[in-house]
């Protein structure tokens, strides 16, 4: 979402998600072929530039993850420079999509509607790509980042019908508009050693972490999976994943500190 590709490239680090960064770096051109100075001149009423969609979606997900929603954190999540975020926030504020309260960002009603639609389409796409086509979690997530911008109302309805009105994405995140219920979850950090727990949700922040979805899927750590916290040594965590055959798994600190579980 940077003002130019050079700015995005300067903001990249070796830790960032290359798929999402590539999407953001070309958001001014992909998929509408429109430069930044035409952001307010969309061809169809109610249609928004994918850069606006990405930013609204990210703010929605940060709120969902109880993250601090300020421009610096937004820049980190999107892997772009703070200057780029500042410029985009000004455009979005003028377009009536966000509100700036002191240093905090909030979605305006129009931004909330846009974010809800994009998040819904992303998570339905992930369901289709994993449940029907059989793609891996990581591949499905990266593909859904593209699909979310081009799925029409009719296709969204069709996907939902085909999938049987799912309540969550494959990683346990609720699909907006679905009756997903409310589960009081906590992070793995709050589980005592030796205690059994059930994995409930893998937050979007973890999904965006390079290699995290591959790590979790390889260990069959799916939402609903029962596990036991075997040991904790500083940031190092080992769990036992229960299934047909129990397996002991070491989780990276980044992942283990963000997984949402129920005792």
Q: Phi and psi for 184 in degrees, rounded to 5?
A: -80, 100
pLDDT digits (tens, 9 = 90+) for 73-92: 999 999 899 999 999 999 99
Burial 170-193 (b: 16+ CB within 10 A, else e): bbbbbbbeeeeeeeebeebeebee
Q: What is the pLDDT of residue 234?
A: 82
CATH architecture of 186-262: Roll (2.30)
The confidence score (pLDDT) of residue 160 equals 96
Amino acid 9: pLDDT: 35
Per the DSSP assignment, residues forming a β-bridge with 228 are 196, 240
> What is the spatial distance between Cα 66 and Cα 218, in angstroms, rounded to a whole number?
27
pLDDT of residue 146: 94
In this prediction, residue 25 carries a pLDDT of: 37
Q: Where are the domains of the chain?
A: 5-107, 186-262
Average pLDDT for runs of 10 along the chain of length 263: 35 40 38 39 52 95 92 92 94 94 92 96 98 96 95 96 96 88 83 95 92 93 95 90 90 91 93
Long-range pairs, 139-146, Cβ under 8 A, ≥24: 140/170, 141/207, 141/213, 142/19, 142/20, 145/19, 145/20, 145/23, 146/23, 146/31
3-class SS at 42?
A: coil
Distance CA 189, CA 251 (A): 12
What single DSSP character describes residue 36? G
Report how far apart, in Å, the C-alpha atoms of 112 and of each of 60, 91, 198, 233, 249 are.
Answer: 8, 16, 31, 41, 39
DSSP H helices in the chain: 5-11, 18-25, 50-64, 71-78, 82-94, 109-127, 137-147, 153-163, 204-207, 212-218, 253-256
Query: Tell me, what's the pLDDT at 180?
Result: 67
For 110, phi then psi, to 5°, come to: -65, -40
CATH number of 5-107: 1.10.10.10
């Amino acid at each position: 979402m940077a003002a130019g590709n050079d700015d995005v490239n300067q903001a990249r680090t070796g830790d960032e998600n290359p798929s999402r960064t590539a999407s953001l770096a070309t958001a001014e051109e992909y998929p509408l072929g429109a430069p930044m100075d035409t952001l307010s001149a969309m061809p169809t009423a109610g249609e928004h530039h994918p850069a606006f969609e990405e930013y609204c979606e990210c703010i929605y997900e940060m709120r969902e993850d109880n993250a601090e929603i300020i421009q610096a954190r937004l820049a980190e999540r999107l892997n772009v420079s703070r200057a780029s975020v500042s410029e985009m926030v000004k455009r979005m504020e003028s377009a009536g999509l966000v509100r700036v309260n002191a240093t905090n960002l909030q979605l305006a009603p129009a931004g909330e509607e846009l974010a809800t639609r994009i998040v819904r389409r992303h998570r339905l796409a992930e369901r289709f790509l994993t449940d029907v086509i059989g793609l891996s979690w990581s591949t499905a997530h990266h593909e859904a980042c593209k699909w979310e911008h081009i799925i029409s109302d009719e296709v969204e309805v069709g996907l939902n019908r085909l999938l049987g009105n799912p309540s969550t994405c494959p990683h346990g995140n609720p699909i907006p508009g679905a009756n997903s219920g409310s589960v009081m979850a906590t992070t793995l950090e709050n589980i005592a050693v030796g205690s059994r727990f059930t994995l409930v949700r893998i937050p979007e922040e973890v999904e965006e972490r390079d290699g995290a979805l591959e790590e979790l899927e390889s260990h069959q750590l799916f939402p609903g999976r029962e596990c036991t916290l075997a040991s904790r040594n500083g940031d190092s965590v080992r769990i036992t994943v229960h299934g047909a055959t129990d397996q002991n798994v070491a989780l990276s600190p980044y992942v283990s500190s963000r997984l949402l579980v129920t005792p």
